[in-house]
Amino acid sequence: MMDRLSTPDLEHMYSDIMKGLSVHFDSPLITDILETARRFPRLQLGYALNRNQVTSKTWLVDSLYQTGQGRLGRVGVLGGWYGVLGALLLHDHRFDIERIESVDIDPSCEGVALSLNRSHVDDGRFAFRLADMHEIDYMSADYDLIVNTSCEHLDDLPSWYAKVPEGTLLVMQSNNYFGIESHVNCVNSLAEFKAQVPVAEELFAGELALKKYTRYMVIGRR
């Protein structure tokens, strides 16, 4: 029977795994993840990169591409947290992206998001914006695409939705995970979510069954 590894040994092992993967796949993203884990050792980065989070974001990225939206231009990711979605989009060569601005109200997210997207910070294609999504002037922000995967956190989703200029391309997600205290606006079905965000032109609407909950997504023009 193998001995259990100590915490330092486990950390060293996972570090070696990440290094090996970055070499094999020639992936700047894996390198950036590894460096971020080193720079922020007390950060629970695993929460942002767990199976459900990455599955949901990969579903978003693939569905967006399948709608024919390859040229994304200027992108605003609201509730961007640690910038994982921005990284997945920028490292996906199917998309033509001018710039991604990851927006979050939590100042502790900034350093992590910039580190996780280091490959694209220096060339000006990724930036972090400390802001409340309810207070942004979306007309002057001039986003070609707005992504909001935090609709379950918004106690006044209609108010936010009304601020988005007509014709703007939107990707929005919510879920039925009522057991989380900060989930103040969960929905019971895709139909209920669609009623909250009545797009003028629907490009995609679907649901993704995960272990503990179902995630709902709508892609369309405001």
Backbone angles phi, psi at 192, to 5 degrees: -65, -40
Beta strand extents in the chain (DSSP E only): 71-78, 96-104, 126-130, 145-148, 169-175, 201-209, 214-221
pLDDT value of position 27: 74
How far apart are the C-alpha atoms of 171 and 168, rounded to whole Å? Answer: 10
- What is the pTM (predicted TM-score) of this model? 0.87
Asked if pLDDT for residue 42 goes beyond 50, the answer is yes
The tens digit of pLDDT for each residue in 102-112 reads: 999 999 999 99
**All domains in the chain, ordered by first residue:** 7-39 (no CATH), 47-221 (3.40.50.150)
* Identity at 164, one-letter amino acid code: V
Burial class (CB in 10 A: 0-12, 13-18, 19+), 127: middle
How far apart are the C-alpha atoms of 22 and 63, rounded to whole Å? Answer: 26
* Nearest alpha-carbon partner for 70 in 102, 29, 98: 98
pLDDT value of position 24: 45
Task: Give the chain's end-to-end CA distance (angstroms, integer).
Answer: 59
How far apart are the C-alpha atoms of 23 and 62, rounded to whole Å? Answer: 25
pLDDT value of position 94: 96
Asked if pLDDT for residue 19 goes beyond 80, the answer is no
Backbone angles phi, psi at 155, to 5 degrees: -75, -15
